[in-house]
Structure 1
Amino acid sequence: MSVHRRPPFSRRRFLQASGLTGAALLAAACGSNTGRGGTDGTLTHWYHQYGEDGVQEAVRRYAAAFEGAEVDVQWTPGNYDTKLLSALQGGSPPDVFEYQTKADLVRAGHLEPLDDLIADVRQDFSDASLASHTFEGSVYGIPQAVDSQVLVYRPSLLDDAGVEPPTGFDALADAARELTDGDRKGLFLGNNAGTDVLGAPWLWSVGLQYVTEEHRAGFDDPAAAGVLTRLHDLFESDALLLGAPTDWSDPSALLQGLTAMQWTGLWALPQIEAEFGDDYGVLPWPRFGDSGADSVPVGAFGAMVYAGGAQKDLAKEYVRWLWIEQTAYQEDFNLGYGFHIPPRADIAAGAEQLSSGPAADVVRYVEELGRPSSPPEWTPAMDSAYKDALSNIVRGGADAETELRAAAETVQGELDTLFG
């Protein structure tokens, strides 16, 4: 089975539309293959470049089977985000495209509400996948594939060290220290010590979140400062693997014996199983204290319709046909080339690859503990300020309360612009 190789749904991948320069807009408008919306019954459908062999051919095959129109599928290598946002801002957008729902795009009138498409089957979609595409009560993207991140561990190594699978932060930190032995570290959270990927689970672990329901920064709190200070202590303990040949999204550090436990993604499980058989297990990120919760972050690209398109209604029918009605295509897209969870619960439940072992555990975690990794109101500017604070605290030892307060000011400024 092909292993997922495209980047995870990192918030760093999303560029703020209002920050695009005039040069970027001009390049998108004047470059070849600008992707202007289809006319006379032809629809344009944009995908970013997936790293899994066979996906490009599959989506072209799906589109060719739609009888309502000719669909021009455009496969976008390189920086898909810049091209898409430039097209939306520059007036040459595709009819249908994949992305994550963002509040600023909704506010700008670029995204068409799709509540009518999903109404009859909304209960079939996982809450976490829909949360990524729901803003102020309306759904703007039909989830295509669900990816999640989990903690992967080697039971045999834990048994040899007399360590139980950790179910809380203190147990995880203790296990990381106990499992560190010579050239093998106990835990790998990425070469940046998790500061670029675990920012949300660290907040959830103490009962906090990026943004509150009242549109306030949700992390300027002593509880957040407390867990981040403890993470700095773990960073200083020499139990974390740093400087690995590949980063957290690739399981090579675990496969090569450089670590006993690694934070990575669902997409890596086939490769891990091929190497270790049944000698691996998965866990959510553990809670810290009594007020928080175990969690797994969930990312889900969705199919979207350009709200200003001349063939908007036809585009919606195409999206309904492909991502609501064609369940066989949806299973094929998720499991035929890589390893993802179909967003529809009935499809996931019937997928043999997800029916047992650690894969089934991940499906259960997503259903019970999943939270959106990038909520619609979270902008790149917010993400940058917050992650800078995390790095300064966890890796640099800076005062946690001071750093979080400064990041919260930036986040609040963004929120005031969106909701003020």
Structure 2
Amino acid sequence: MVAFKRNDPSQQTLAKLAMNRRRLLALGGLTAGAGALAACGGNTGRGSSEGVSLSQWYHQYGEAGTQQAAEKYAAAYKDATVTINWIPGDYDTALSSGLLAEKEGDYPDVFEGHLNRAMVESGQIVPLDDILADVIDDYTPDDLARNTIDGKIYGVRMIDDPQFLYYRPSLLEEKGITPPATFEELMAAAAELTTGDVKGLFLGNDDSATKLFQPIVFSAGETLLTDANEIGFTKETVLAGAAQVKALHESSSLLVGAPTEAWDPSSIIQNLCAIQWCGLWALPQIIDAHGDDINVIPFPAFGGGTPTVFNGGWDTFVNAKSAHVDEAKDFVKWLWVENEEFILDWNLSYGFHIPPRLSMRGNAEQLQSGPAAEAVRISQEFGWAENPNWTPKMETAVDDMMNHIVLEGADPDAEFDAATATIQGELDSIFG
């Protein structure tokens, strides 16, 4: 499942990928075309109840069988008629338009996405505390926090998607290279592994500068926003990390202009690179290509800090505008809270993901050995999750800062000051 967005991504990280699985953009836009968008992939599961119809929206996942699985789940539900809308292309824009639509059938009753405060303050979604009340302790603190605004839970976790570096052990062994634990070691390994036909490292075609901002911050033990909703990172940390990223970009070790973005494992599968940043979802494809010659490591530490892993994924929400809010909540509870068979199927049969329900993880046999088990381990040890109070405007501010410093050679101090001024302005407007 294409989660890079792109938790994913997420307003948290990996912010400008072509199929961004990481962050829901600030909701807005025109309602024109919402009805046509809602019709994409309109396959229906016919329940036994008459008169209650629900529309469930998904972005277009990349793995074969995912759309058919969603349709299978809908068809199995007996308390409403559920129509699956499978949205290709720019899901964020389609969803923004759909949530503004007024006519039943043009908007989603249930949809997947990523929480941000704008969704709550504009009244677009309803709290789901009641359907989670009996199982609240069966989710990780991160999965609850990423779906909580002002003490209320608005989303139910569907999949957890850690992202890390894949590497070919044989290629490193040939060069006598130990899997890198620091950014300096990663740069050195990437240079050594670069040959005429293979680049040492692939982080993404157009945003590897921006996606490294958050590993820099979290590696230092800092954060985007503190619990008091203040800026949680320092100039010293960010600028030191940006200087290292700039040095990497000025090397010849990065794969740029790959046929697909980094959410897709094609580059390491086709031997275009020795090391690639990607997600757990891609592991089955990579194993099919390279067998036992594959392993994973967290993103190496910056500046004496710790390695990091972005724990992305997808969540499901109920549209406050729905004519059937209670029925939509019942469907979400049935599918994403209670239905172990379908939750495990969605997480393990179409690429690998970590089931959000802790009680179900013991049944995820595919994740209990080899690189999959290592991916789960490092996600637990080094992982971080989105903060729904980190807004798209804040993310754009740090993305611009990193691009200006790393790619354009702009003054680092001035860029940092401009970015933090924008973030502080956002915080002041939200929290006073």
TM-score, normalisation: structure 2: 0.87
Report how far residue 141 of structure 1 moved: 0.8
In the alignment, the residues of structure 2 paired with residue 75 and residue 271 of structure 1 have an alpha-carbon distance, to the nearest angstrom, of 23
- Asked whether 1:256 is paired with 2:274, we answer no
Superposed CA deviations along residues 209-264 of structure 1, whole A, max 9, x for unmatched, are 22233323334521110011011112223222223333322223323333221111
SS at match of 1:246: coil
- What does residue 391 of structure 2 align with? 379
In the alignment, the residues of structure 2 paired with residue 412 and residue 53 of structure 1 have an alpha-carbon distance, to the nearest angstrom, of 43
SS at match of 1:98: strand
Equivalent pair of 1:163/1:175 in contact (CA under 8 Å)? yes
Amino acid at match of 2:195: D
- What does residue 46 of structure 2 align with? none
Pairs within 5 Å for 1:15-414 = 15-18=25-28, 20=29, 24-28=30-34, 33=39, 40-92=51-103, 93-192=107-206, 194-290=208-304, 292-372=305-385, 374-414=386-426
**Cα gap change, 1:40/1:211 in structure 2, threshold over 3 Å: closer, same or farther?**
same
Report how far residue 349 of structure 1 moved: 2.6
In the alignment, the residues of structure 2 paired with residue 257 and residue 370 of structure 1 have an alpha-carbon distance, to the nearest angstrom, of 28
SS at match of 1:350: coil
RMSD: 2.6
**Cα gap change, 1:178/1:78 in structure 2, threshold over 3 Å: closer, same or farther?**
closer
Amino acid at match of 2:361: A
> Structure 1 residues 269-278 or 248-257, which shifts more?
248-257
**Cα gap change, 1:250/1:88 in structure 2, threshold over 3 Å: closer, same or farther?**
closer
Superposed CA deviations along residues 145-201 of structure 1, whole A, max 9, x for unmatched, are 121211111111211211111112222222223323344332222223612433322
**Cα gap change, 1:5/1:223 in structure 2, threshold over 3 Å: closer, same or farther?**
closer
Q: Which has the higher contact order (CA 8 A, sep 6+)?
A: 1
In the alignment, the residues of structure 1 paired with residue 109 and residue 429 of structure 2 have an alpha-carbon distance, to the nearest angstrom, of 28
Amino acid at match of 1:233: A
- Asked whether 1:419 is paired with 2:418, we answer no
Superposed CA deviations along residues 337-361 of structure 1, whole A, max 9, x for unmatched, are 2322221223233222211111111
SS at match of 1:25: coil
In the alignment, the residues of structure 1 paired with residue 251 and residue 211 of structure 2 have an alpha-carbon distance, to the nearest angstrom, of 20
**Cα gap change, 1:198/1:348 in structure 2, threshold over 3 Å: closer, same or farther?**
farther
Equivalent pair of 1:281/1:358 in contact (CA under 8 Å)? yes
SS at match of 1:105: helix
**Cα gap change, 1:78/1:368 in structure 2, threshold over 3 Å: closer, same or farther?**
same
Report how far residue 390 of structure 1 moved: 1.1
Amino acid at match of 2:294: Y
SS at match of 1:260: strand
TM-score, normalisation: structure 1: 0.89
Equivalent pair of 2:3/2:279 in contact (CA under 8 Å)? no
Report how far residue 397 of structure 1 moved: 2.8
Equivalent pair of 1:166/1:175 in contact (CA under 8 Å)? yes
Superposed CA deviations along residues 99-153 of structure 1, whole A, max 9, x for unmatched, are 1111111111222111222222222223333332122222211111121211111
Q: Is there any run of 5+ residues in structure 2 with no aligned partner, and where?
A: 43-48
In the alignment, the residues of structure 1 paired with residue 136 and residue 91 of structure 2 have an alpha-carbon distance, to the nearest angstrom, of 28
Equivalent pair of 1:144/1:343 in contact (CA under 8 Å)? yes
In the alignment, the residues of structure 1 paired with residue 89 and residue 198 of structure 2 have an alpha-carbon distance, to the nearest angstrom, of 35
> Structure 1 residues 147-156 or 323-332, which shifts more?
147-156
In the alignment, the residues of structure 1 paired with residue 293 and residue 73 of structure 2 have an alpha-carbon distance, to the nearest angstrom, of 38
In the alignment, the residues of structure 1 paired with residue 285 and residue 26 of structure 2 have an alpha-carbon distance, to the nearest angstrom, of 35
SS at match of 1:195: helix
**Cα gap change, 1:287/1:47 in structure 2, threshold over 3 Å: closer, same or farther?**
same
Equivalent pair of 2:229/2:427 in contact (CA under 8 Å)? yes
Equivalent pair of 2:75/2:82 in contact (CA under 8 Å)? yes
Q: Is there any run of 5+ residues in structure 1 with no aligned partner, and where?
A: none
